[in-house]
Structure formats: C-alpha cells, structure tokens
Amino acid sequence: MKIPFIKMHGLGNDFIIFDNIKDLIVHDTKFIKKISNRRLGIGCDQVLIVEDTAKSHNFKVTMYNSDGSETGACGNGTRCVADYLMKRDNLNSLNIESITGNLPCTKNNNLVTVNMGEPKFDWKDIPLSREQNTQKVLLDEFEAFCLSMGNPHAVVFMQNIDELESLDLNIVGPRLEKNINFPELTNIEFVCVLDDKTIRMRVWERGVGITMACGSGACASLVAAFKKNKSSKSNKIILDGGSLFIEWLNNGTVTLSGETEKVYEGIIGD
C-alpha cells in the first residue's frame, strides 16, 4: 500500500491532505489517529481528504480531527486545501463542500481567503445542552460567549494580557471542552483586546488540544468581540503562530484571510 499525501500549515495549524484517494483506509479512525500522532505518525491537527466532484471549481473535502472525529468547519484547513487545489488546477477561486456547508475560497497574492458563512447564536444551533443566554454561559470559573461557526465555540474574554498568557490551557482546556453545556464538546478561545484594539487569542481545539492557530476560532472571537462592543467588524487576530484577518461582512457572513505554506509531500506505505 502506497498512499501519497501533502503536509501543509496555516500559521502552524497543520494538516495532512489526501488528494482523491479511493482507499477506504484514509477514512479509518485508527489510521487517522496513527498518522496524526506526532511521535508514531506524520503529525497534524487535522486530516483533509479531497473527494471526487462532478462540478468545475467545486471540491468536496472531508475533514477529521486528530482524534478521528469528523469536523466540518476547519478554517485554516480549508484555506490550505484551497491553496493546494488552486495551484494544482491554476485557479484563483473555488468552492469547498463540507458537511456544514459550502465554503467559497479566493486567493490574492499570498493571502488565501475563505468565507466561513454566517455565525449562529441560537442555543440549539451551537449546540448547547439546554436553553440559556448564549452570551453568558457559565463554565466553572469562566463566563463564555457561545456561538457556532459551523462548529461550536466558547469565547472567554480575559481581563488583561498577563492573565491570558499565564493561563495553563493544558489544565483548563480539556475540562471546559467537555463541560456539561456542550453535548458535542466545544472549541475554547481565550481572548484579550489589546491597547491597539487588535485581538490576542489562544485556543484549545475540540478533538485536538492546543494548536498554534484556529481559523473558525478566530472568526468566533471577532464576532463575539463585536457583539460585546469590544471590536469593529474587521480586525487582526494574533495567535501563537501568527496573525489572521477576520471581517464580518454586511451580508452576515464572515471571511478569514491569512498565509498558507506547503511543508512537504510524501508517501505512506512500503
């Protein structure tokens, strides 16, 4: 068995991409967990599988977290696979079909942009386990603004940058991810608005853990900050791996822009 793959990253948020591989093993949970392991496999945050599609400029992509669970709103992963496909097919724009909807993508110079669609605020759409004020969800010692960007997010605003940077995500992340409020678990974003009004964000990703960047999390943070009168509708989000640029458009959708990079290509198997 020889399976070609591409390794890419967006601000250190890294991915293994399989391009139209028909072998069912690429969807197998054990296989995904093994190749995602940074000691026993290649190592990545998510695995992205490009499927067949009959439409021009339209690509179906199945996305898995490193624990083998399927996800549908991986912003940086979508940007990476879009960049790969645009270079492969000499395109400036295309559409990615995911389990949570269509994600239009464009490229301008080195910046790849994906439209992540409209945020959802109803407790059933996030989803939460019960009806409540989604902007003030109590998570142990924290209060979170909860919303969906195609996957669930809980945005926690910290008082200052020192409090944010000193937070031990390995302790609070897994505890809050599995909080009783989240029947499908959740991504946790800890954010702070800086003196220059940009936003610093650290993230614990559902099914992955600490990552250097999270595209859908950056979108959720911008939306929550605007709704709480802490930001304009467009802003720079500063993550461990670099900066992403988020804009909440007048049509209600949210765009995510940033750089991507191919690390290498390889072959799994004998």
* Element (DSSP H or E) covering residue 81: helix 75-89
DSSP symbol at 51: P
What 3-state class would DSSP assign to 179?
coil
74 is catalytic: yes
- Spatial CA neighbour of 4 closest among 19, 23, 14, 15: 19
- List the beta bridge partners of residue 188: 154, 204
Q: Provide the b/e sequence for 203-236 (b: ≥16 CB within 10 Å).
A: bbbbbbbebbbbbbbbbbbbbbbbbeebbeeebb
Q: Are 2 and 235 in contact (CB under 8 A)?
A: no
192 is catalytic: no
> Given 44, 74, 146, 219, which residue is catalytic?
74
How many H helices and E strands in the chain? 5, 18
> Given 44, 105, 214, 219, which residue is catalytic?
214
Q: Provide the b/e sequence for 178-192 (b: ≥16 CB within 10 Å).
A: ebebbeebbbbbbbb
129 CB neighbour count, 10 Å cutoff? 13
Please, how many CA atoms are within 13 Å of residue 32, restricted to the half-sphere of its CB? 24
Residues tagged active-site: 74, 214
